[in-house]
Amino acid sequence: MANFIQYVVSQEDTIQGIAQSQLGDMSKWIDLAQFNNLRYPYIVDTVEEKMKNPNHLVTVGDTLMIPVSDDQTTGLISKLSTATQYDKEEIYALALGKDLDILPLPNGQGALSMNGEVLEMKSDGKGAIKTVRGLRNLLQSLYIRVITPKGSYIGHPEYGSEVHKYIGMKNTEENAALLDLEIERTLRTDSRVTGVISNGHTLVDNTYTASFSVSTMSLEQAFEFIVTSKANGPLVLLDNFRY
């Protein structure tokens, strides 16, 4: 496991300033950005700006992971070796990121079904915007990546998938197999994903359902990514999240 410390982004922070204050070398800002999978402009002032590229931007209150050398972590390694399960889960969650909860809302067709056409921010019930982190954040990020038509995201021509080309096609085993391959390919494009295994698909009348086992960079953690679609309908996430 890479050695790292946590840093919460503050007002007026820049990626270069954080590199200077935390690593003692402003020129290491590139390493810091790569370690956290950030892209220009890296740190933005508002949530609205972050939402233009939520997977690769951070704002005030978000947590960055700062890679540090062995001599900077003399006491850290021993602490990690004796960390409680809760501490380890916190580390994994930080490594996989935190973001606004914009997963689709239930569409009324069952507690586990989600409407793939409704993405919106939610309240946490305490006057703040609801967030997701860790594996749940990764699940959300992957779903958004899969349902976004490749090439539609201005400035990021390789982001997204070709899934939309298959939706509405005749429900045949050949088309379903091609859709499996495209979803698996798209899942693998996220840098936090270390492996994807297709568990196969089912075709019932005009409905396609597929399951994938996704392993992550957080060591032994993994989860199932399950989607379904009716003919001419959106690709829907089945929220039976388990790992």
Mean pLDDT of 19-23: 84
The DSSP symbol for 233 reads S
Tokens 């969650």 belong to which residue? Answer: 93
- In this predicted structure, what is the pLDDT of residue 178? 93
CATH assignment at residue 145 = 3.10.450.40
* b/e burial code for range 176-210 (CB count within 10 A of at least 16 → b): beebbebbbebbeebebbeebeeeebeeeeeebbb
Region of residue 25 (left: phi > 0; alpha: psi -120 to 50; beta: else): beta
- In this predicted structure, what is the pLDDT of residue 75? 44
Whole-model pTM? 0.61
Residues 70 and 189 grouped into a single domain: no
The model's pLDDT over 184-235, given as tens digits with 9 standing for 90+, comes to 999 998 877 888 999 999 999 888 999 999 988 655 567 788 888 887 778 8
Q: Is the pLDDT of residue 179 over 90?
A: yes
Residues 51 and 163 grouped into a single domain: no
Give me the percent of the chain exceeding a pLDDT of 70: 76
Q: Is the pLDDT of residue 239 over 80?
A: no
Give the pLDDT band (50/70/90) at residue 109.
very low
Residue 39: domain span: 4-82
Please state the domain count of the chain.
Answer: 2
The model's pLDDT over 65-105, given as tens digits with 9 standing for 90+, comes to 887 664 544 444 444 455 555 555 566 666 677 777 877 66
Q: Is the pLDDT of residue 113 over 50?
A: no
Residues 104 and 209 grouped into a single domain: yes
More confident residue, 104 or 25: 25
Residues 65 and 162 grouped into a single domain: no
Tokens 């005749």 belong to which residue? Answer: 170
Residues 75 and 108 grouped into a single domain: no
Mean pLDDT of 110-136: 68
For residue 88, tell me if it sits in a domain: no
Torsion of CA 148, 215, 221, 100, to 10 degrees: -10
- In this predicted structure, what is the pLDDT of residue 163? 92
Residues 168 and 50 grouped into a single domain: no
More confident residue, 226 or 3: 226
Which of 56-60, 135-139, 229-233 is the least confident region? 229-233
Q: Is the pLDDT of residue 145 over 60?
A: yes
Residues 40 and 134 grouped into a single domain: no
